[in-house]
Amino acid sequence: MAVLNRLQVEAEYEGQRIDNFLLRHFKGVPKTRIYRMLRTGEVRVDGARTRPEQRLLAGQWLRLPPVRVPEPQQADSEERLGSAVVLVERIERVYEANGLLAVNKPVGLAVHGGSGISLGLVEAFRACGQWGSSLDLVHRLDRETSGLLFLATKRVSLLNLHRQIQAGRFRKHYLALVKGAWQQSGLASLRDSLVKELHPGGERHVRPARDGEQGQAAMTQVKALCTWEHDQLGPLSLLECQPVTGRTHQIRVHLASSCFPIVGDPKYGDPRFNHQVQALTKVSRMFLHAWKASFDSELARERVAAEPGNDWQKGQQKLGCPWKPRPVADRADTTEMPLINP
């Protein structure tokens, strides 16, 4: 159907790029069409031409051209909704307040749909939740990583949490099961700068910067929760990790480059060791879990935690790990790791 709009920017969209606003407003319209209407002046802001990077201000008037929005096929739409409902029902919600939704993402579930993935977590919640397209992803979480994932149900909450991320007020703590005996007591700081590479076939890979090479500054704080000796696999350690910066694959690369690869990591881990662990535990996963997070709300410092799933607990038990997390309800278990100055 053709849609002709003249609309006023609401306060919650202030600061958003106009291209992102249009991509949401014209759901289903190809990106090429969106950027063509911006380039050719079909979209006006207070009567003037605009650019994709322009930030919106509350109260501005947008003139939008007639655009044919594709109607979804009913059968495809119903099938997609059914898949979304099944997916959402098996995902634990651990926090829902202040315009935020935090879930305990299962391992192996992609955050977004993409090549070869018809439905991601965000699309599933948008399809069957009460928020529709207003649900936004606050931060990334690798498909192989389980645990806390934050979504914003209001744009003002999204912007607030992004400001806290930039200011270091939104802190995330991960559990990582690694090969080797972590000897350092107290808090350690891993500071290798990181370089992204694109391998043949489009595979993304991250490595520490070499001497004289310019990489992205990165910092991960680590402390050992326990270290033990397995009679077949040798020394193992369970670590608590806090990424001070938010680089791609940061924890995985920092630990691997320190000779403590994460158990089950298919990209940066020890393939032979991973095969031994899988054969012993009958668990196939990467042992990295987004465990705890803390952030500021209007009234207090909020602390949220997500228990590792059954597959993690089975693997931990099979490997003889003596450490057990306190129940999530125990607020003492959501204390923050003190920050070393970056």
Q: Is 211 a catalytic residue?
A: no
- Out of 136, 142, 270, 311, pick the active-site residue: 142
Please state whether beta strands 146-152 and 136-137 pair in parallel, antiparallel, or not at all (unpaired): antiparallel
Q: How many CB atoms lie under 10 A from the CB of residue 274?
A: 20
Binning the chain into helix, strand and coil, the percentages to the nearest 5 are 25, 30, 45
Given strand 48-49, what is the order of strands in its sheet? Answer: 2-8, 61-68, 44-45, 48-49
Question: Cα–Cα–Cα angle for 328, 153, 306, nearest 5°?
Answer: 15
The rounded distance, in Å, linking the Cα atoms of 143 and 105 is 9
Q: How many CB atoms lie under 10 A from the CB of residue 267?
A: 16
DSSP H or E stretch at residue 235: strand 234-243
Tokens encoding 27: 């759901």
Identity of residue 310: N
- Catalytic residue numbers read 142
